[in-house]
Amino acid sequence: MVHSGDYSSNSAASSDQASDLTSLYVGYALILFAVPTFGVAAAIGLLRVWRKPPPAEPVARSHFIFQQRTLMAAVAAIVGGVVLILINVGVFVLFVMAVWTIVRGALGLKDLLEGRAIRHPLRLFY
């Protein structure tokens, strides 16, 4: 039986893991909302993870790196697509970026829900 005032080091570790897991879910939500918000969610997500150190736990670390890579590529594609609209190629770039971002976010979220790590988080294609 646990009494008030009884604290163990395991509760702090589980609290950190829960915080990491919540942060990962928020990251995937921002990735999936990148398209309907015209990139605003991707920019917010990128600002969230820009200088943040990755978690220590291997599964959370792989998802964190995967999200960083996804958000950096999405923001770069948005900026490039907007610039390329001037020569009538930007709409195609933005469409491909939208599909790629949604698919990548959905597959990453599926793996997170199943408790699996991303095997190669630095790859551009899943």
Q: Both tokens of residue 56?
A: 């220590």
53 domain-assigned: yes
Query: In terms of residue numbers, what domain contains 98?
Result: 13-113
Is there a contact between 97 and 85 (Cβ–Cβ < 8 Å)? no
55 domain-assigned: yes
pLDDT over threshold 70, residue 11 = no
Q: How far apart are the first and last CA of the chain?
A: 46
**Which residue from 73, 69, 71, 59 is spatially nearest to 119, judged by alpha carbons?**
59
98 domain-assigned: yes
pTM of the model as a whole: 0.83
74 domain-assigned: yes
Mean pLDDT, the chain, integer = 87
Evaluated on CA atoms 48, 23, 117, 10, the torsion sign reads positive
pLDDT band at 12 (very low <50, low <70, confident <90, very high): low
5 domain-assigned: no
Q: What's the pLDDT at 20? A: 84
**Which residue from 101, 19, 24 is spatially nearest to 65, judged by alpha carbons?**
24
126 domain-assigned: no
What pLDDT, in 10s, does the model give residues 23-78?
A: 999 999 999 999 999 889 999 999 999 888 999 899 999 999 999 999 999 999 99
Is the model more confident about 90 or about 13?
90
Structural domains counted in the chain: 1
Average pLDDT over residues 81-93: 93
Q: What's the pLDDT at 6? A: 44
Q: Output the 3-class SS for the chain.
A: CCCCCCCCHHHHHHHHHHHHHHHHHHHHHHHHCCCCCCCHHHHHHHHHHCCCCCCCCHHHHHHHHHHHHHHHHHHHHHHHHHHHHHHCCHHHHHHHHHHHHHHHHHHHHHHHHCCCCCCCCCCCCC
Q: What's the pLDDT at 17? A: 76
1 domain-assigned: no
What pLDDT, in 10s, does the model give residues 106-119?
A: 999 999 999 999 99
Q: What's the pLDDT at 124? A: 84
Percentage of the residues of the chain whose pLDDT score is greater than 70: 87
120 domain-assigned: no
